[in-house]
Chains A and B, each alone.
Chain A
Amino acid sequence: MFTERPKFYAEYIALVVFGVLSLVLVPAILFVRLPYEKLSLVAVSVLALCVVLISTVTYQSLSTYVRTYKMAQKLSKDLLVHSRELFYELYRNSPVPYILIDMEGKVESANTSAIRFFGVHEGTLDGTDFFTYIEDDGTNKTNFIPAYFKQGKPISDAEVSLHKADGTIRYAILSIFLYKDVEGRQKGLLTLVDITKQKMVDKAKTEFVSLASHQLRTPISSLRWNVELFEGIPDVTLTDTQRQYLRKITDGIARMDSLVTDFLSVSKLELGTLKPHYETFELSDFLGSLHEEFRLHAEKKNVTFETNWSEHFGPITSDTRLLNMALGNLLSNAIKYTPQNGVVRGAVTLNESTITFRIEDSGIGIPGSDHEMIFSKLFRASNVESKGIDGTGLGLYIVKEALRVIGGTISFESREGVGTTFIAVIPRR
């Protein structure tokens, strides 16, 4: 703002010279009788007085201006110092860990939060290579960071695990912004957002579901295997009633298994522990296994199961587990709600951006009044209870949520007593 001082010396000299000349000229006219003798003494005196007054006022104004300028300059300096101090205090005491690094990744300075994050003393990080603190997780998710930064590119929101001085691991979201210091050298301002607690909670949730799954499934496996051993005992002839009891036990086990699967799926979807794992696979192979699994269910119920799934669709990229969860539930429902001698059809169509799965049945259909609620958790259509069809009301909720996780959608068309078609659409990655 005040980068160059104005030159006032000429004005000062002019003022002094003019003042002196005025004071010398007036007596000279009066007493030496120069050719100006006819000039009125009063007029000359007034003129001289005016000159003196103007000079005085000008001098006063200039002095004020100079004083104001000096004050402004001092204020500007103070502001600069103050803002530097403020910036430093914010940097030092920010709850966000900040680290300044050079373009080789060497730490030049770390704020209090960063020091606390790594559990070290002040100055310990200085001069060390920051990138050596990043834990190599064996994937390419974090390995790119040093090379990328050294090429002069900023890093945004990379999830990393960092090892502390005591060897423990902390998780963080890392970003590196590029800036130039006062000497014009490029540097990096590194920020860390500590997500260790969040990671621990996620891990605890996953472990809980895993443990619950193990504990619930083990007795089911035990029941199933022991029934199998019982049935395999040689030379044992069962009466029809005994066989009926045994079949009821087997059916009960199957139902319990299915319930546990549903409850665990809902828990995982709601706890957010079902993260998509994308892989590329042959769609025909995937659908072939699904067809094989549900063909037996359909046969048992004397329902015709037709598909176009044997066509060659080529490879697709998705999460097989979640896709299987969604399509498996749709097929299970279609067969369950279709009466004997009915038909269930599966069709797949692919276009450039989406893959559409249609599961059509000739079942009991969904009453119009239930259409809005059909994907709600624990909701069952009003016409299923009267027909004595068993279910938990979780299947379509699971379908909707599983598809949501992989970026898909679900819709349906239905006429009560005629049948229902569910249409699942997933993005083609």
Chain B
Amino acid sequence: MNTEQSKKVLVIEDEQDLREALKTALSNESFEVHTAGDGEAGLQMALEVKPNLILLDLMMPKLDGLGVLKALREDEWGKNVKVIVMTALDDLERVAEVLEHGGSEYLVKSNISLGTVVAKVKEKLKV
């Protein structure tokens, strides 16, 4: 693994199983993966680590995904970071709201494979 050229991906996801599955799949593709289990910790880590891309769950405790997205867009660095928002099928009503706040991609977890998530990340980062 060539760590010097590794791009940083931050996974903000409250479900441990999903967080770990994403971490494994992305690590297998040579990304430097950071993880956070809630919105507050995720936002703090994002501003510290400054990843190339953030995979952001929408429904989370403490601070939800939309709150993280809004806070990021108010930050000088965060306003340009690539964000892929992930959620359950029934949050589809919030697609417009997410896109409005600069979520560049919207993935529905329940009907997407891990391979597709990784492919989207690679596509966004032009890897």
Interface residues of A (CB under 8 A from B): 209-210, 213-214, 217-222, 224-226, 228-229, 232, 257, 260-261, 264, 268, 277, 321
Contact B113 A213 (CB under 8 A): no
Selected A-B contacts with CB under 8 Å, 16 pairs? A209-B90, A213-B88, A213-B89, A217-B109, A219-B17, A222-B15, A222-B17, A225-B113, A228-B21, A228-B114, A228-B115, A229-B25, A257-B110, A261-B89, A264-B90, A277-B93
Contact A214 B114 (CB under 8 A): no
CA distance A224 to B88 in the complex (A): 14
Question: Nearest chain A CB to B62's CB is how many angstroms away?
Answer: 16
- Given A228-B113, A257-B111, also A218-B90 (CB < 8 A): no
**CB nearest to A219 among chain B residues:** B17
CA distance A209 to B89 in the complex (A): 11
B28 within 8 A of A: yes
CA distance A228 to B113 in the complex (A): 8
Contact A218 B113 (CB under 8 A): no
CA distance A229 to B115 in the complex (A): 9
B91 within 8 A of A: yes
Interface residues of B (CB under 8 A from A): 15, 17-18, 21-22, 24-25, 28, 59, 88-93, 109-111, 113-115
- Residues of chain B within 8 A of A257, CB atoms compared: 110-111
**CB nearest to A277 among chain B residues:** B93
CA distance A226 to B21 in the complex (A): 6
Contact A217 B88 (CB under 8 A): yes
Contact A226 B17 (CB under 8 A): yes
- Residues of chain B within 8 A of A261, CB atoms compared: 89
Question: Nearest chain B CB to A383's CB is how many angstroms away?
Answer: 31
- Residues of chain B within 8 A of A229, CB atoms compared: 21, 24-25, 114
Extra contacts, 15 of them, besides A213-B90, A218-B18 (Cβ < 8 A), are A214-B88, A214-B91, A217-B88, A217-B89, A217-B109, A219-B17, A222-B15, A225-B113, A226-B17, A228-B25, A228-B113, A228-B114, A228-B115, A229-B24, A257-B111
CA distance A222 to B17 in the complex (A): 6
Contact B109 A221 (CB under 8 A): yes
**CB nearest to B90 among chain A residues:** A213
CA distance A214 to B110 in the complex (A): 9
Contact B28 A210 (CB under 8 A): no
CA distance A224 to B15 in the complex (A): 14
- Residues of chain B within 8 A of A213, CB atoms compared: 88-90
- Residues of chain B within 8 A of A224, CB atoms compared: 113-114
- Residues of chain A within 8 A of B111, CB atoms compared: 257
Partner of B59, one of A209, A214, A225, A277: A214
Question: Nearest chain A CB to B13's CB is how many angstroms away?
Answer: 10
CA distance A224 to B110 in the complex (A): 9
Partner of A225, one of B21, B28, B89: B21
